[in-house]
Structure 1
Amino acid sequence: MNVPRAPPAVLQNPGFAHYSVKWSPFHTTRIALASSANFGLVGNGRLHLVTVNAGPGAGTLRLDKQYDTQDGLYDVAWSEIHENQLVTGSGDGSLKLWDAMLNDLPIRAWHEHTREVFSVDWSNIKKDTFASSSWDGTVKIWTPEHPRSVATITAHHSCVYQALFSPHQPDVLATCSTDGTLRIFDLRAPAYVASGPTTNNFTNPLSASALTIPASNTEVLSIDWNKYRPFLLASGGVDKAVKVWDCRMVKLGGNETGAVGGNCETQLLGHEYAVRKVQWSPHRAEVLATASYDMTARVWNTMPPAGQSQLMYIHDAHTEFVVGCSWSLYDEGVLATCGWDSRLNVFRI
């Protein structure tokens, strides 16, 4: 297995369990962290903005700013059009847009979800659009300039853990849920009907997915699109297995689900507890990072040379659940991880 070139750079933020870590798409050294007090069960949240300073290995970490919220933060996404803006999803069902040039309050807020917002994702193609998914079973599409969401997806009948725009097709969105499915939606589907001024502009939300993949008998907690192969998705969840899906393998389904299918290309086995996060490398099509409740993050090669292991590296420096991981967009081989131990680790594979 590969090993880090130097010990990880570490930033400790006592009192807050980290839930999500994201590198800036504009700045090579900026990281955002979404965190919650009391492990996200009750209490405040905090958004941390961190800079990676030059140094041996992955350098050192400096906390630049922090923003406190009245409820826990579960996810964060950088804007794709404004280098200093980012959106967070909160335990009270709200979304907030922040500007790193300001010191305290968010510049916008939305509150349509009725339960925890567990993921936010900013489209890197349609750069004025982001998505949120919630434990209320819905996915909502937003633009920063609108006071309300511009679309709602209600195909899942249970908690939607993650919703991600395809990096290849601007109107394609994938979701995962407690129902064990991955679903892919075409947002161009004519499924909307205009409504009155007191409602959310749509009375007939998109409810039929273009493709449903029965990925697991248990909850699917995380998905990610491959950055080089447009039809490839990775998933991870409670069954401890990481699976890679070819979404072109479909068959006709019922009226509610549309097409059903998805071919599992490979399974990555080794995590001892649920897999909380999966993320493909932005630099290599075959490399995937995962974070797990077994207190490790792992790096995999999904297409290893003959005779070599799929497992490239185990990062076991955390002392609590590892729930977030994020590849640097500019520096190949640099990975950030965060966990319930209040630690942010950055290291080079």
Structure 2
Amino acid sequence: MSCITAGYHGYAVQFSPYPDKRLACVAAQNFGISGRGALYVIDTEADVPRVGSTYAWSDGLYDVTWSEREANILVTASGDGSIQAWNTALPSANPVSIWHGHKKEVYSVHWSQVRTEQMVVSGSWDMTLRLWDPDRGQTLSILTGHDHIVYSGVWSPRIPGCIASTSGDQTLRVWDIKRPHMACIVIPAHDAEVLCCDWCKYDSSVVATGAVDGVVRVWDLRNPRRWLAQLPGHENAVRRVKFSPHEAKRLASCSYDFSIRLWDYGLSSSALHTVSHHSEFVYGLDFDLHTPGRIADCAWDQTVKVFYAPPSLQQPPPHVKLG
């Protein structure tokens, strides 16, 4: 099941957290090197995904996050250093607000998973993360410490005020927003640029990272001196890693090797399943919160695909301890 982002190369996808069967995708012309960006809101209720609305921006769009408070609000990250808030319920095709503060490309945005917080974190090529008040579009604080491009910043779904970030400086860092000028934990996660991270939805101490070395690693923040699991297999850089919202040790990754791989880090260091349905770099990846086994991705081949894990992988297998 797929739809086309004609002329635009996909960078990120995210299912709506609301039960409305919508998917957001952001993309950029000319592989994100130059040109415009687009935000697509896709209806996935039917067998074939259908683009419902499209919104244009003057520069490439690299990431997207849905509001955790209002079903029609999305936030996007742009190559011009700005962040845009959109309201799909309004007839206007323009953002409802534009947030300024970063000095270079914004590569990641994520809305807080703790509903009482209502903040957005962004990561930028200017080597900082910023916390934003989404109502006012104003910076609340700046997280400094990375000394290279910040590729991802992700709120913990279980710990209030806690963020994980990854960077070209080869580290995974964990932040307490009450102490924005110093990361609580700094982990030399890979011997390569670390492009992505995600939190386990069931264990507040577990984070996964993916890097240019093609490896996914799982970390227990209570003992960060060595990875909890190492998952090799991708032939090129891992662009995104996502934990399943339905199974504690299940995760997925996508890569510049054109593939998506499904893993169970408690069962094996080998991929459980590999999906190869793209002809270019796969950049975006997400699990459907409401339908177990349902996954979306997007790639530079100008397609967004929605698919299911094999039936044998839609039920959690028995876990064995890694040796």
Q: TM-score range by the shorter chain?
A: over 0.9
Tell me if structure 2 keeps the 8 A contact 1:79–1:86. yes
CA deviation profile, 1:13-38 (whole Å, cap 9, x unmatched):
11000000000001341000010000
Go from structure 1 to structure 2 and tell me whether the alpha carbon gap of 1:212 and 1:319 turns closer, same or farther (over 3 Å shift): same
**Quick one: distance in 2 between partners of 1:120 and 1:183?**
16
Residue identity in the other structure for 1:158: H
1:21 aligns with 2:9: no
**Quick one: distance in 2 between partners of 1:127 and 1:339?**
32
- Aligned counterpart for 2:299 among listed residues 339, 342, 345: 339
Tell me if structure 2 keeps the 8 A contact 1:80–1:127. no
Aligned residues with identical type, % of pairs: 39
Residue identity in the other structure for 1:237: A
TM-superposed deviation, 1:263:
2.9
Tell me if structure 2 keeps the 8 A contact 1:248–1:262. no
**Quick one: distance in 2 between partners of 1:262 and 1:288?**
22
CA deviation profile, 1:244-293 (whole Å, cap 9, x unmatched):
001111xxxxxxxxxxx443011111100000000000000111100000
- Aligned counterpart for 2:227 among listed residues 254, 264, 273: 264
Tell me if structure 1 keeps the 8 A contact 2:251–2:264. yes
- Aligned counterpart for 1:38 among listed residues 30, 33, 45: 30
Q: What is the aligned partner in structure 2 of residue 209 from structure 1?
A: 183
Residue identity in the other structure for 1:264: W
- Aligned counterpart for 2:103 among listed residues 101, 114, 120: 114
TM-superposed deviation, 1:309:
6.7
Within 5 Å, which residues of 2 pair with 1:134-283? 134-189=124-179, 206-249=180-223, 261-283=224-246
The farther-off stretch of 154-163 and 122-131 is: 122-131
Q: What is the aligned partner in structure 2 of residue 47 from structure 1?
A: 39
CA deviation profile, 1:97-137 (whole Å, cap 9, x unmatched):
00001231111111110111000000110452110000000
Structure of greater Rg: 1
**Quick one: distance in 2 between partners of 1:27 and 1:68?**
25
Tell me if structure 2 keeps the 8 A contact 1:28–1:329. no
TM-superposed deviation, 1:146:
2.3
Q: What is the aligned partner in structure 2 of residue 255 from structure 1?
A: none
The farther-off stretch of 131-140 and 141-150 is: 141-150
Q: What is the aligned partner in structure 2 of residue 192 from structure 1?
A: none
TM-superposed deviation, 1:188:
1.7
Go from structure 1 to structure 2 and tell me whether the alpha carbon gap of 1:209 and 1:309 turns closer, same or farther (over 3 Å shift): closer
- Aligned counterpart for 1:288 among listed residues 231, 251, 258: 251
TM-superposed deviation, 1:311:
1.4
CA deviation profile, 1:222-248 (whole Å, cap 9, x unmatched):
000000011000000101110000111
TM-superposed deviation, 1:147:
4.1
Q: State the SS of the aligned residue for 2:221.
A: strand
**Quick one: distance in 2 between partners of 1:145 and 1:53?**
30
Q: What is the aligned partner in structure 2 of residue 321 from structure 1?
A: 281
Go from structure 1 to structure 2 and tell me whether the alpha carbon gap of 1:240 and 1:147 turns closer, same or farther (over 3 Å shift): closer
**Quick one: distance in 1 between partners of 2:169 and 2:124?**
14
1:63 aligns with 2:51: yes
Go from structure 1 to structure 2 and tell me whether the alpha carbon gap of 1:155 and 1:67 turns closer, same or farther (over 3 Å shift): same
What TM-score do the two structures reach when normalised by structure 1? 0.86
The farther-off stretch of 45-54 and 288-297 is: 45-54
How much is the aligned-residue C-alpha RMSD, in angstroms? 1.1
**Quick one: distance in 2 between partners of 1:28 and 1:147?**
26
**Quick one: distance in 2 between partners of 1:329 and 1:242?**
22
1:312 aligns with 2:304: no
Q: What is the aligned partner in structure 1 of residue 79 from structure 2?
A: 91
Please list every run of 5 or more consecutive structure 1 residues that lacks an aligned counterpart in the other structure: 1-8, 190-205, 250-260
What TM-score do the two structures reach when normalised by structure 2? 0.93
Residue identity in the other structure for 1:106: P
Tell me if structure 2 keeps the 8 A contact 1:221–1:236. yes
Go from structure 1 to structure 2 and tell me whether the alpha carbon gap of 1:53 and 1:146 turns closer, same or farther (over 3 Å shift): closer
1:100 aligns with 2:92: no
Tell me if structure 2 keeps the 8 A contact 1:303–1:310. no
CA deviation profile, 1:149-200 (whole Å, cap 9, x unmatched):
00101111111000111111111111100000001111122xxxxxxxxxxx
Q: State the SS of the aligned residue for 1:38.
A: helix
**Quick one: distance in 2 between partners of 1:127 and 1:27?**
22
Q: State the SS of the aligned residue for 2:278.
A: coil
